[in-house]
Amino acid sequence: MELIFKIIKFEFSNALRSKWILFYFSFFLILSFLMFNFEDETGKAVLSLMNIVLIVIPLVSIIFGTMYVYNSNDYIQMVLCQPLDRKSLYFGLYLGNAIPLALSFVVGILAGFIFTGANTEGIAPILILTINGFALTLIFTSIAFLTAIKFSYKAKGLGASILIWLMLAVIYDGLILFVTYFFRDYPIENIILGISLINPIDLARIFFILDFNISALMGYTGALFNKFFGTSLGVLVSSGLLILWFVIPFLFGLRSFNKKDF
């Protein structure tokens, strides 16, 4: 455990000196400040931020995490020459990458909200937004680590990471529309519900919307979640599945890291 904290401290200090982390923090700070400043209702501002968060955070997390692993390859080889536990090294590298990204987002959003002088009555949706963003950062960083470890060549790994993001953030919605349209005469609710479980971005959207019971903005998959599970159970199911989306890629990445010949 002591070794993990040392690695996290070292990686965290490097991340704080990175211009990309500063830019990432500034982006959310300025964006949230503008949203809350020009929108009278906090709920509408948070909904607008959520739409941006669902695209930006997965993209940045998966690309930044993938490049981080490749750029740290020499460092990993040097550390592995020492009598160190690979598991501790992996935990340290992962948390040293994911925590700065997640904190940059959370602090940027909260600071932008505070600087607008908004009252604390609208803090609940903002907290849900930050939880979603934090969870997506952990999930897509774990996917990035798994992808980078699986592919030895940087070009292939980066390409695979971008493809994964495209599939989950862009192509997925088209797939839902395709299935819904062409099989509209059949009872496909269970199929659509199953498809929604394989997309952490959609699960994060459902978690956010169900928590506030905004039925008009649920969309097809959100409405199905509400129909099958209800509001309270739907929130629990979606949050539990988000945890699985973090745990499974993380464990597979750890397993691949332990077996990989650097």
Between CA 67 and CA 62 the distance in angstroms is 9
d(CA 162, CA 168): 10
Per-residue pLDDT of the chain (262 residues; tens, 9 = 90+): 666 777 777 777 777 777 888 899 999 999 998 888 887 777 778 888 888 999 999 999 999 999 989 988 888 888 778 777 888 889 888 988 899 999 999 999 998 888 876 666 667 788 888 999 999 999 999 999 999 999 988 889 999 999 999 999 888 877 777 777 777 677 766 777 777 778 898 888 877 777 665 544 545 555 666 666 555 676 777 788 889 999 999 999 999 998 887 6
In angstroms, rounded to a whole number, what is the distance separating the alpha carbons of residues 114 and 100? 21
**Is residue 125 exposed (0-12), middle (13-18) or buried (19+ Cβ within 10 Å)?**
buried
- Tell me the two tokens of residue 211: 């928590």
Question: Which residues are within 8 A (CB) of 168 and not within 5 positions of it... i.e. 6 or more apart?
Answer: 58, 199, 200, 201
Per-domain residue ranges of the chain: 2-259
Q: Is 133 exposed, middle or buried (0-12, 13-18, 19+ CB in 10 A)?
A: buried
